[in-house]
Structure 1
Amino acid sequence: MKILLLVFGKTDEDFIIEAIKHYEKRIKHFFQFEIEVISEPKLHGKQALKRQLDEEAKLFKSKIKDYDNVFLLDENGKELSSVEFAKKLEINMNTSKKRLVFIIGGPYGFSQSFKNKYSNNISLSKMTFTHQMVRLIFIEQLYRAATIIKGLPYQHN
């Protein structure tokens, strides 16, 4: 199983870069994992927000294959415990889909049409985090889910 994380813009905080590398190395013991960074479109003028969301959706769609199972990391998505996320991940890993794609939207989230098309929405918390922190939190949760699935002693219940 391959898991792809799509994000806009590079991570620029050194401590986050190091922590992400740490978890990436650990995750690769369980499945193929890749982070793909997309350059964020910068639009200005009237209707810029709608155009930005539409342009971001186009960029994301260009990276998604028909066989992918897509999850949006969205503040209005469903909140899951780590164990619930692990179960969801395991179920999806056992389907015929070749790849799971998780997407962190731009600063304004996702367009409504994009959310309608890809309705698997997950929220990491009701709290607001920077996009850089969301990357790290999600990757740690992905690693935690892998250890839960394998029954390894990382998660404490």
Structure 2
Amino acid sequence: MVIELIVVGKTVGAWLESGIREYTGRLEHYTRFIQTVIPELKNARNLREEQIKATEGELILDKLSPGDHVVLLDENGQLPGGSVAFADRLQSLMNRGTRKLVFVIGGAYGFSASVYARADEKLSLSPMTFSHQMVRLIFAEQLYRAFTILRGEPYHHR
């Protein structure tokens, strides 16, 4: 299975970039992992929130293929019930023969209606709110943790 993480805008902060590189590098031992960055919109200050979401939404949808299983990382999504439950969900998708699993982290204003309509699932990492920049690192670590759980490796202490 190929896992892709689509993010809107470049990661700001060397410490975040370093952490993300650390965990995405570790992921390569378990799966083919791709991170796709959709550039931030130029002149976004001159656009309304809905215009930004709509334009970002078009750019996100352009990156998706019909067979992709799309999961939005969204504050209103379903809580996975913990790291083990998240790992179990990944295993279930692999068992179903999912070829490409795409996780999407939107921009500061979230997703357009068209992106919500295309999504197969919405996932929340926590009832707490994190910046979309922080979510990148937190998610990369949780994805790595899930694979170590599935392999019975000692990274996750049960």
TM-score (norm 1): 0.93
Whole-angstrom CA distance in 2 between matches of 1:16 and 1:49: 26
Deviation by residue 1:113-138 (Cα, 9 ceiling, x = unmatched): 42133140000112121222100000
Counterpart for residue 29 of structure 2: 29
Counterpart for residue 116 of structure 1: 117
| Alignment pair present for 1:131 and 2:102 | no
Whole-angstrom CA distance in 2 between matches of 1:63 and 1:116: 15
What's the offset of the Cα at 1:13?
0.8
> Do 1:73 and 1:104's aligned partners in 2 also have CA atoms closer than 8 Å?
yes
- The one-letter code matched in structure 2 to 1:6 is I
> Do 1:4 and 1:99's aligned partners in 2 also have CA atoms closer than 8 Å?
yes
> Do 2:60 and 2:115's aligned partners in 1 also have CA atoms closer than 8 Å?
no
Whole-angstrom CA distance in 2 between matches of 1:59 and 1:2: 20
Whole-angstrom CA distance in 2 between matches of 1:143 and 1:37: 20
> Relative to structure 1, is the Cα distance of residues 113 and 61 closer, same or farther in structure 2, using a 3 angstrom cutoff?
closer
What's the offset of the Cα at 1:112?
3.0
> Do 1:23 and 1:140's aligned partners in 2 also have CA atoms closer than 8 Å?
yes
Moved over 4 A (4+): none
Whole-angstrom CA distance in 2 between matches of 1:52 and 1:102: 20
- The one-letter code matched in structure 2 to 1:32 is R
Counterpart for residue 78 of structure 1: 78
**1:20 partner SS:** helix
Counterpart for residue 57 of structure 1: 57
Q: Higher mean Cα deviation, 66-75 or 10-19? A: 10-19
Task: Number of aligned residue pairs: give it.
Answer: 155
**2:153 partner SS:** coil
Counterpart for residue 6 of structure 2: 6
| Percent of paired sites with the same residue | 45
**2:46 partner SS:** coil
What is the CA RMSD across the aligned residues, in angstroms? Answer: 1.3
